[in-house]
Amino acid sequence: MALNLILWVSTLAAWAQDYSFPTSAADHGHFYPTAYKDQGGTTDWNCGGITYSGHDGSDFGGGSWSGMDEGRDIVAAADGTVLATNDGEYDRCDTGTCDGGGGWGNYVSLQHADGKVTYYAHLKAWSVLVSAGQFVSCGTKMGEMGSSGYSTGPHVHFEVRVGGTASDPFDGPCSGPPTYWVDQGVYDGLPGLSCEDVPACTPVANLACGQTYSTANNGAGSSGSHSYYGCTEFTYSGPEIAFSFATNLNETATIRVRGNTADVDLFVLGSTACDSSNTIGCSVNPDASEEAVSFSAGANTTYTVVVDGWEGAASNFSLSAECAGVWPGTEPVEESPPPESPAPEETLDTGPFEPVTEVPVDPEDDEGGSPGKLGDPATGCSCRAGGGPGGGLIGAALFLFWRSRRARTKKVQAPESDGR
């Protein structure tokens, strides 16, 4: 089955992930800014001087050495996948020249769904709780504040990079918009602790086994909201388009993209949460005319299929699903066989029906008694045995008939035995 989706080109608004301040609610009140990103000339984002020359991140102290010893949580500022960690470096540096971690000492870096990367540096030794490739939700504790690497005292160095270049998360008169905080707060204060959800992918259609769609990654229903899906280190500038896939069988399914004329890549996800948390598989061959992902599909489980463009690439393509099942709930209903008709009852042929008139039995009479009258007790009609022409013979015949009927009737009406 081939289905066509109309190709259209649109200007896609890119979604940007915003951040929560990277500590817990319990420790939020202990932190304060010590140095913002240098905008040039030792000027910070608000045209003030809370910075130093060449500083690329935002530093926040947490109570000096006593605060470090008490423990100050460092958490993920947004949902993301851990890119790298370093731990075990000396963490009481006060000279700014301690080796380890490229100057960052103990640190964690996170890749976010919008393509940006955040860094959390100078952590306490052996406090790192996450590992490369792990998905973490906003607010997940990843380590504790320390003074490792090029540090002069306990603090956390928080840095945002876009395309590998440091970017100021604060919006002000001396830094370009937008802010990267959900709640930026005031100058010389702290951002808030609100997290922002990653927008879900919105599938444009259902893809079932044996179906083929002809469309484009910048076609109707495409977006530019997502840049990172996991499975690879690459980030994408879109546009992307999503489909739902499901089968009613536990089987191996192959999702295939053919006819690519630009560098578009294929991802299969475990849900519509396009945040790198549940990537099943991907195919990211450079400039390939075909991409395919085979995976073990669970019966009645819905997956999300995404085709995204590398560095803004857009292409027409054919998307197909190779498997044996059908979309759950569309299985053909087996008709039950009609119920068997009951066999006709056998009828005993007893010949022509001859009505028999019951002769009442007089319980006071005995075998030697006279028949009295023959007739219908309901009407009282009776005939005398000897009446009418030929009465003798007829009477005798009727008498014999009466005796036979009387005997049978009395047998039927005999009282039941009392068992003695």
Both 146 and 212 in one domain: the answer is no
Both 42 and 141 in one domain: the answer is yes
In a domain, 420, yes or no: no
In a domain, 46, yes or no: yes
In a domain, 328, yes or no: no
In a domain, 284, yes or no: yes
In a domain, 412, yes or no: no
Both 103 and 149 in one domain: the answer is yes
In a domain, 241, yes or no: yes
Q: What is the pLDDT along the chain (420 residues), one digit of tens a residue?
A: 333 333 323 333 467 899 999 999 999 999 999 999 999 999 999 999 999 999 999 999 999 999 999 999 999 999 999 999 999 999 999 999 999 999 999 999 999 999 999 999 999 999 999 999 999 999 999 999 999 999 999 999 999 999 999 999 999 999 988 999 999 999 999 999 999 988 899 999 999 999 999 999 999 999 988 889 988 888 898 899 999 999 999 999 999 999 999 999 999 999 999 888 999 999 999 989 999 999 999 999 999 999 999 999 999 999 999 999 999 999 877 666 666 766 555 554 545 544 444 444 444 444 444 334 333 434 333 333 334 444 444 444 444 443 444 444 333 333 343 443
What is the domain range of residue 222?
199-322
Domain edge (last residue) among 167, 185, 215: 167
Both 386 and 279 in one domain: the answer is no
Pairing of strands 73-75, 141-144: antiparallel
Both 204 and 311 in one domain: the answer is yes
Distances (CA, A) of 149 to 22, 100, 121, 238, 328: 19, 5, 8, 37, 55
In a domain, 204, yes or no: yes
What's the CA gap between 213 and 205, in Å, rounded?
Answer: 9
The alpha carbon of 141 is separated from its chain's Cα centroid by a whole number of angstroms, namely 26
Domain edge (last residue) among 109, 144, 167: 167
What is the number of structural domains in the chain?
3
Both 310 and 242 in one domain: the answer is yes
Best CA proximity match to 18, nearest among 199, 166, 143: 199
**Are the beta carbons of 109 and 57 closer than 8 angstroms?**
no
Domain edge (last residue) among 260, 289, 322: 322
Best CA proximity match to 208, nearest among 284, 280, 300, 334: 300
Cis previous bond, 178, omega within 30: yes
